Amino acid sequence: MTDSAAKRLQPRRSVLYMPGANARALEKARSLACDAVIFDLEDAVAAEAKDEARANVVAALTEGGYGHRELIVRVNGLDTPWGADDVAAVAALPVNGVLFPKVESVSQLDAIVDALDAAGGAGVPVWIMIETPTGVLDVRALAAHTARLAVLVMGTSDLVKELRASHTESRSNLAFALQLCVLAARERGLDVLDGVHLDFRNQPAFEAACRQARDMGFDGKTLIHPSQIDVANATFGYDDAAVAHARRVLEAWEAATAAGKGVAVLDGKLVENLHAAEAERVLAFHDALASRS
């Protein structure tokens, strides 16, 4: 990993939705250990509270004080009565991205970019929800369409509903859709976040869902409750042992290449360039977290 790539690495282990209508929650987010906050103007806000939620979010973002946390606003869709006003209100504020729900077509993406630009948000990264059958099946085209796209976010609750499926602990019924979105993200160098775990009081089930998502290749998980942050951070991050091992892998690899060898051996196992690249990523991730303090 190059120095520039390491500088761009953005840990997104824990991405917490906060309802825009709850001013107290927006205040609390300033002290939570999550990597990112999604100020939610969409699903978490009733129709009669949309204007209040928008005003709360604008006030919170204007005041600031969120430290290292990425600040994302999930707006209502442009096809709703509130979407255009949401974009107009937040596009020019100090946000790290704007998240749009139920994106299914490249024409939607074009309209999203145009709306952001018209509202003073030229260059603001776009995050999109993949939460419908069409969105999943066309995710490769969506991921490739615009350089403004930064993150894919799975909307597993809506996807289960649209599929007429059921929420299961194993999520085997969603495995194809989840993995397809990971593949599309990786092809284009995008981050991809797993959907929320609704049974937030069931800690063992949440831990299992985080491990499953990590093993599939997700960069992190979207969350609905602060109690989920520590588990997500631990699961999608690297502990001290992993960081120490990464350093040893790089040392062995650098010694081997200096000696003109194409492979190294560490603890009886072969080390190749792919292992060195992954070790570099682990260390860059560690450095990105350390730089926050």
Residues 176 and 248 in one domain: no
Residues 149 and 201 in one domain: yes
The C-alpha atoms of residue 152 and residue 184 are separated, in whole angstroms, by 9
Segments forming the whole domain that contains residue 259: 240-290
pLDDT above 60 for 24 = yes
The C-alpha atoms of residue 227 and residue 224 are separated, in whole angstroms, by 9
**pLDDT bucket at 13, cuts 50 / 70 / 90:** very high
Q: Collapse the DSSP code of 15 into the 3-class scheme (helix H, G, I; strand E, B; otherwise coil) and give the result.
A: strand
Could you tell me if 55 and 86 are in contact, meaning their C-beta atoms sit under 8 angstroms apart?
no
Total structural domains in the chain? 2
Residues 251 and 227 in one domain: no
Residues 80 and 210 in one domain: yes
Residues 113 and 210 in one domain: yes
Q: Collapse the DSSP code of 16 into the 3-class scheme (helix H, G, I; strand E, B; otherwise coil) and give the result.
A: strand
Could you tell me if 13 and 237 are in contact, meaning their C-beta atoms sit under 8 angstroms apart?
yes
Q: How far is CA 275 from the centre of its chain?
A: 24
Could you tell me if 91 and 66 are in contact, meaning their C-beta atoms sit under 8 angstroms apart?
no
Residues 261 and 198 in one domain: no
Q: How long is the chain?
A: 293
Tokens matching residue 271: 């080390």
pLDDT above 80 for 117 = yes
pLDDT digits (tens, 9 = 90+) for 127-164: 999 999 999 999 999 999 999 999 999 999 999 999 99
pLDDT above 60 for 206 = yes
How high is the pLDDT of residue 5? Answer: 43
Residues 30 and 147 in one domain: yes
Q: What pTM value is reported for the model?
A: 0.94
pLDDT digits (tens, 9 = 90+) for 89-116: 999 999 999 999 999 999 999 999 999 9
Could you tell me if 222 and 198 are in contact, meaning their C-beta atoms sit under 8 angstroms apart?
no
Residues 221 and 154 in one domain: yes
Residues 159 and 276 in one domain: no
In the listed set 214, 236, 258, which residue is the last one of a domain according to the structure? 236
Strands 264-266 and 269-271 turn out to be antiparallel
Helices (H) and strands (E) in the chain, counts: 13, 10
Residues 104 and 216 in one domain: yes
Residues 218 and 155 in one domain: yes
CATH code of the domain covering residue 151: 3.20.20.60
Residues 133 and 254 in one domain: no
In the listed set 236, 252, 282, which residue is the last one of a domain according to the structure? 236
